[in-house]
Structure 1
Amino acid sequence: MKSLAAASIAAMALATPAHAAEPPGWPAFRAMFQEMVETDSSYASGDCTVLVNKTAARMKAAGFPAENLHIFVPEGAPRAGNLVAVLPGKDPKAKAVLMLGHIDVVNAFRQDWTRDPYVLVEENGEFYGRGVSDMKAQDAIYADNMVRYHAEGLKPRRTIKMALTCGEEPSPFVNGAAWLAQHPRELIDAGIAVTEGGGGDLDDQGKKLAVTVMAAEKATTNFTLEVTGPGGHSSKPRPENPITILSEALVKLGALPFPTEFNAFSRAYFEAVAPQVDAETGAAMRKVLVDPTDAAATAIVNRSMSRRAMVRTTCIPTLIEGGHASNAQPQRVRATVNCRLLPGQSVTAVQSAMEKAVADPRVKFSAPPPPTIPRPEISPLTPQIMDPIRAVAAKVYPGVPVTPMQETFGTDSTRLIAVGIPTFGFSALFRGDDAGNIHGLNEHVSVQSVMEGREFLYRLIKAYADQK
């Protein structure tokens, strides 16, 4: 079996187009990236523990000390393994630098994809596969960094750590970041931690618009909408059908216009990007900064999925279930509506807005109770965080502005911030408006973006590790 696997990998390598400007160490990095993508770590059919064992084995084979690799599998969760790697620093009093990444992925169904989601495909300058953008490219860069630093004999002032964790995506997997924050806490303790979020924005022609650093993120809440009825034989239709009622409610929610709202970070992003985009879009971005209610300008800004989502709360139906037989009127139908709330917005206010838009007492709304512990904000983007990013960006992406931004999703950063580890989001990967269609079909990220992001994060983590 090992021989067959080796032959298969060799054949795929021969079939992969070569790049004229492959950076040093690229084949070893690509092999690590490929193994991560091709090891299914979704909850439905995969296993995080298998993946962390493979990654640890690959790092050991590359010379990384086995005693500095630690695998943790939470009790009662055999598929939810996590890997922590440590590169000791010279100053025991200096707080460490931590690279945090989740290795679990959203489920993917082969019948819907153009390519097998669990095979890394390189095609027309793009990598395709589940997790290539969210976030196994970044995970592979982290592991590759640790191997490279050790091979170079790097002795940084601060200890460098890596935590690859399971359970960030919604699933019954145990959340590894939260688990590590409570169990071997000292092993991941750090003075600065970087995770997913931000990176860089590309326009439709591939122009780099800005290097982006996640300074704020949205909170996630799932609302359940339910309609019930007495049911009955389908040959004798009742005037009120729960499926029809719920469908009408969802159409109304689709038209619900949550207002444009800026905070300091989304405002900074708009100010930085407006001069980089086309004249019409740039003018519209400047107008909404002055008047967020300008309908014409908002319509132009909203052509971008990312910018539209950045400056408002969003709610969309993501799951629907109902009925009990093809020849029976439905007795119960439910929909899950996933909302991404701007920082500081209350669940109660969002539910009230949705109920007002639906205006139908037959549709029952419910939401999970608010957390007993307030959700922590992203750590402040201090000069200690931003200065190294600006310095590396000036060398890797000269002329491209660096800006904080409001991310459209949530990350595991809050798990670490809650226990006192300053954490922010920066992937160093440039992506287009669809962000590589994360969580969707044919997820992708450009090969060039991964090459450049690998170099950026390699330099950035070294810079953090040598900070005083």
Structure 2
Amino acid sequence: MTTLNGEDEVAGLCRDLIRIDSTNAGDNSGPGERAAAEYVAEKLAEVGLEPRILESDSRRANVVVRVEGEDPSREALLLHGHLDVVPFDAADWTLHPLSGEVADGCVWGRGAVDMKNMDAMILAVVRQRISEGRRPPRDVVLAFTADEEAGGEYGAQWLATEHKDLFEGCTEAIGEVGGFSVSIDDARRLYLIEAAEKGIAWMRLTATGRAGHGSMLNAENAVTELAEAVGRVGRYQWPVRLTRTVETFLTETSRALGFDFDPDNPEETVAKLGPLARMIGATLRNTANPTMLQAGYKANVIPQTATAHIDGRFLPGYEEEFFQTLDELLGPNVTREFVYHDVALETGFDGPLVRAMADALVAEDPGALAVPYTLSGGTDLKAFSTMGVRGFGFAPLKLPADLDFSGMFHGVDERVPVDSLKFGVRVLDRFLDGC
């Protein structure tokens, strides 16, 4: 077998994946992930692996393969990445989001940040290691999933219930939205490793009143009832709740930046984080944002019902408080039902796997400081956690200080530096040796 070089391959793999349209609008329409899954499976098969393509529905495809380790008796490690991406409006982009073009030292396109970059890094490092005859210390299961951007019904959730046997022995995992750098100065960088995720509660609210003519008095107007409830929810200032992971992040970050962290005023620290403040600020408290309103069918008709949607996110340990407060805000005349509901996660930032991540980063960047953080969104780890898997977000990238990486998640002009991808391959290679 020809020896492969993961650093040489990774940008091309990322480019190819971006050029495969796997847009997920959330309604099971669109191209699906089948073409991307076939590409991934082909690249794995080229080095002698036997990947399985598993379709949960027409063109909703996942890829799973096990790489045998030197000691198969040890607990296995899961590396997971999703193949779908969110929709886009190409008119808003500098370069077409499906171009995969390399410009200004970056690979551009939808998925360059979320998360075809990590898919490419996993493929690159695994292909190189196998071509060199290097097995990992323990079994490693690779899972490239469908449907993460819509909650994972056709991807990780389906795999965790219908194909649980493929993950036998997996107790730890790494995936997306972590491991990227934030510069402190020219010599030092924080690397944010996701150790917690907020829970998700997408809800449909409904108010029911008395239908009638728009010109008449009506004290049972569903639109009024709903609008007032949505206003209360949208304007509510949720109290700060410092979780273990958030407090650790703010303490370590404050120390690195040269000031003391005041746990009685965490927002003061968050305000000093620049672009990161948007992401970290959302992890200080529960949130509930109104996102959709629907009512009526004619200007002079008072409708019987009105509906709205709320995107709720609750911190680990605060789900009960979240729903209790939400119901008080909605009042007795507005009901809620789940569109999608999933758990919050949190794990300690300790143990051999954490040391392996931190050591791999420092080996490639002596100025690296690994710190845990809480993700305000969610990942496929929620589904894999139902199998007893403890996971982290670790897609390592050393980034330019002036690149607003976190702002490009689901944003315009997604791009990832080629040098960052190469760095990620080297770090993942060291990580696999050390885990």
Q: For this structure pair, what is the TM-score category when the shorter chain's length is used for normalisation?
A: 0.7 to 0.9
SS in 1 for 2:377: coil
Give the counterpart of 1:50 among 15, 35, 41. 35
SS in 2 for 1:321: strand
Gaps of 5+ in 1: 1-22
Do structure 1's residue 413 and structure 2's residue 381 form an aligned pair?
Answer: yes
Separation in 2, partners of 1:421, 1:356: 35
> Could you give the per-residue CA deviations for residues 127-147 of structure 1, whole angstroms, max 9, x where no partner exists?
432222221111111111211
Separation in 1, partners of 2:132, 2:81: 23
SS in 2 for 1:81: strand
Which residue in 2 is equivalent to 1:350?
322
Alignment of 1:123-272 (within 5 A): 123-170=103-150, 174-189=153-168, 190-202=170-182, 209-228=189-208, 246-247=226-227, 249-272=229-252
Instruction: Report which stretch shifted further, 315-324 or 236-245.
Output: 236-245
Which residue in 2 is equivalent to 1:442?
413
SS in 2 for 1:367: strand
C-alpha displacement of 1:378: 4.2
Retained in 2: the 8 A contact 1:214–1:407?
A: yes
When residues 38 and 452 of structure 1 are mapped into structure 2, their CA distance, relative to the original with a 3 A threshold, is same
C-alpha displacement of 1:397: 2.1
What is the TM-score of this pair, normalised by structure 2? 0.83
When residues 206 and 137 of structure 1 are mapped into structure 2, their CA distance, relative to the original with a 3 A threshold, is farther
Retained in 2: the 8 A contact 1:302–1:308?
A: no
Instruction: Report which stretch shifted further, 384-393 or 319-328.
Output: 319-328
Separation in 1, partners of 2:126, 2:388: 24
When residues 183 and 208 of structure 1 are mapped into structure 2, their CA distance, relative to the original with a 3 A threshold, is farther
When residues 262 and 434 of structure 1 are mapped into structure 2, their CA distance, relative to the original with a 3 A threshold, is farther
> Could you give the per-residue CA deviations for residues 188-216 of structure 1, whole angstroms, max 9, x where no partner exists?
23243211232134259998641222222
Give the counterpart of 2:297 among 324, 337, 360. 324
Which residue in 1 is equivalent to 2:285?
312
When residues 25 and 417 of structure 1 are mapped into structure 2, their CA distance, relative to the original with a 3 A threshold, is closer
Separation in 1, partners of 2:287, 2:59: 33
When residues 234 and 380 of structure 1 are mapped into structure 2, their CA distance, relative to the original with a 3 A threshold, is same
Instruction: Report which stretch shifted further, 425-434 or 188-197.
Output: 425-434
When residues 87 and 308 of structure 1 are mapped into structure 2, their CA distance, relative to the original with a 3 A threshold, is same
Retained in 2: the 8 A contact 1:201–1:433?
A: no
C-alpha displacement of 1:50: 1.8
SS in 2 for 1:212: strand
Separation in 2, partners of 1:419, 1:197: 21
Retained in 2: the 8 A contact 1:256–1:354?
A: no
**Structure whose residues are more often strand by fraction:** 2
Alignment of 1:72-83 (within 5 A): 72-74=54-56, 77-83=57-63
CA RMSD of the aligned region, Å?
A: 3.5
Separation in 1, partners of 2:70, 2:391: 23
> Could you give the per-residue CA deviations for residues 267-312 of structure 1, whole angstroms, max 9, x where no partner exists?
11111111344x7xx55xx12x1x14x7767766798112211221
One-letter amino acid of the counterpart of residue 137, structure 1:
N
Do structure 1's residue 426 and structure 2's residue 394 form an aligned pair?
Answer: yes
Separation in 1, partners of 2:92, 2:298: 26
One-letter amino acid of the counterpart of residue 157, structure 2:
A
Separation in 2, partners of 1:139, 1:424: 16
Do structure 1's residue 36 and structure 2's residue 17 form an aligned pair?
Answer: yes
Which residue in 2 is equivalent to 1:3?
none
Separation in 1, partners of 2:147, 2:186: 33
C-alpha displacement of 1:24: 5.4
Separation in 1, partners of 2:268, 2:155: 45
Retained in 2: the 8 A contact 1:32–1:55?
A: no
Which residue in 2 is equivalent to 1:13?
none
Separation in 2, partners of 1:115, 1:346: 41
Which residue in 2 is equivalent to 1:333?
306
One-letter amino acid of the counterpart of residue 307, structure 1:
I
Separation in 2, partners of 1:445, 1:340: 28
One-letter amino acid of the counterpart of residue 223, structure 1:
M
Separation in 1, partners of 2:427, 2:414: 22
C-alpha displacement of 1:31: 2.1
When residues 27 and 258 of structure 1 are mapped into structure 2, their CA distance, relative to the original with a 3 A threshold, is same
C-alpha displacement of 1:404: 2.0
Do structure 1's residue 108 and structure 2's residue 91 form an aligned pair?
Answer: no
Retained in 1: the 8 A contact 2:71–2:137?
A: yes
What is the TM-score of this pair, normalised by structure 1? 0.78
When residues 136 and 386 of structure 1 are mapped into structure 2, their CA distance, relative to the original with a 3 A threshold, is same
SS in 1 for 2:203: strand
C-alpha displacement of 1:33: 1.0
Q: Percent identity?
A: 25
Retained in 2: the 8 A contact 1:156–1:462?
A: yes
Which residue in 2 is equivalent to 1:7?
none
Gaps of 5+ in 2: none
Aligned residues: 423
C-alpha displacement of 1:58: 3.2
Instruction: Report which stretch shifted further, 142-151 or 50-59.
Output: 50-59
Separation in 2, partners of 1:375, 1:257: 22
